[in-house]
């Protein structure tokens, strides 16, 4: 039967949610979504439905892929192929057409993350010209308080939060870029006055009974000690909220602070980059 692709903008968010959930059944990490969750995902990550695709084999829905678009870069996400159509080239066709769409937009950098252990997807992206860049961790902590050190705490205004976000060094994962935070409500941040004179800070979202979107700068003198203190204050302030820290670099020098505060690894991703030729 014939494989056809249709722009995702031709579908309602409810229809796209149904396609997405169907296409993710049986995946390593299925990540099922509601229409509200998918609508938020589209908004938070600047997904361009007019440049995203739904696949059909004959009259049957076969898969989905979405493209995030920001200045000078695009993000490949939500790739899924229905169980019945896996192994038949649907995923490759979706990826090739999405990248061609990104190239037509003149975007010089394509980014994605693939869950480690999803070897078919990893090999597909390698064939498409993506190269592994770094490993990223998704960490989780159940609700619970922490004993925090007696340090001066300065709560950050929204303006001050974005001053800190814009001061971060290096390229951030798409999910943690400043543009993502600009779309978020329930955003908070604070800094600490450490005895060594540094003022490490943390920014996070507190919404729907949970903490997420953690990003931070623990300083250079004692990154583990500073991040530990930040997390202790965070969980002292929000003892009833479970926490997810998404896309923490596996080589973060302050990583041990998370394990010291009871975080565990949910899964790992590998970030991959593609720079089109010409």
Model-wide pTM > 0.85 = yes
| CB-based contacts of 255, cutoff 8 Å, min separation 6 | 137, 248, 249
How would you list the strands of the sheet with 264-274, edge to edge?
3-7, 53-57, 60-70, 73-81, 110-115, 264-274, 131-141, 242-249, 210-217, 201-207, 187-192, 153-155
> What is the model's pLDDT at position 103?
96
> What is residue 278's predicted lDDT score, i.e. its pLDDT?
58
Phi/psi for 67 (5° steps) reads -125, 125
Pairing relation of β-strands 53-57 and 60-70? antiparallel
| Cα distances (angstroms) measured from residue 67 to each of 6, 42, 242 | 14, 10, 30
Q: Which of 19, 63, 10 is nearest to 38 (CA)?
A: 19
- How does pLDDT run across 13-36, given as a tens digit for each residue? 999 999 999 998 888 787 899 999
* pLDDT, position 180: 98
End-to-end CA distance of the chain: 35
- Judge if 3-108 and 139-270 fold alike in CATH terms: yes
Per-residue pLDDT reduced to its tens digit, 195-242:
989 999 999 999 999 999 999 999 999 999 999 999 999 999 999 999
Which pLDDT does position 230 carry in this prediction? 98
Q: Which CATH code for domain 139-270?
A: 3.40.630.30
Structural domain spans, the chain:
3-108, 139-270
CATH class of the domain comprising 3-108:
alpha beta
63 bridge partner residues: 55, 81
Low-confidence residues of the chain: pLDDT under 70:
278
Per-residue confidence (pLDDT) for residue 185, from 0 to 100: 94
Whether the CB-CB separation of 134 and 271 falls below 8 Å is answered with yes
Q: Give 9's strand partners.
A: none
């Amino acid at each position: 039967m014939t494989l056809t692709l249709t722009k995702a903008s031709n579908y309602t968010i409810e229809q796209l949610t149904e396609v997405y959930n169907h296409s993710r059944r049986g995946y390593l990490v299925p990540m099922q979504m509601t229409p509200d969750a998918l609508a938020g995902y589209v908004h938070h990550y600047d997904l361009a439905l007019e440049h995203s695709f739904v696949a059909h084999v004959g009259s049957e829905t076969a898969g989905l892929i979405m493209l995030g678009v920001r200045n000078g870069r695009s993000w490949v996400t939500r790739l899924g192929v229905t169980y019945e159509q896996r192994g038949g080239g649907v995923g490759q066709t979706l990826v090739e057409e999405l990248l061609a769409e990104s190239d037509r937009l003149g975007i010089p950098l394509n980014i994605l993350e693939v869950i480690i252990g999803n070897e078919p997807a990893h090999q597909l992206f390698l064939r498409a010209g993506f190269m592994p860049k770094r490993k990223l961790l998704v960490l989780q902590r159940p609700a619970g308080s922490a004993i925090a050190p007696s340090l001066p705490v300065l709560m950050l205004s929204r303006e001050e939060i974005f001053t800190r976000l814009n001061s971060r060094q290096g390229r951030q994962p798409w999910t943690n870029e400043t543009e993502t935070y600009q779309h978020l409500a329930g955003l908070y941040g604070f800094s600490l006055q450490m005895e060594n004179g540094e003022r490490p800070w943390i920014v996070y979202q507190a919404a729907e009974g949970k903490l997420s979107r953690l990003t931070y700068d623990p300083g250079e003198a004692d990154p583990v000690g500073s991040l530990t203190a930040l997390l202790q204050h965070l969980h002292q302030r929000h003892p009833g909220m479970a926490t997810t820290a998404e896309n923490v670099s596996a080589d973060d020098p302050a990583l041990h602070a998370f394990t010291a505060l009871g975080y565990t690894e949910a899964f790992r991703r590998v970030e991959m980059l593609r720079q089109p030729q010409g």
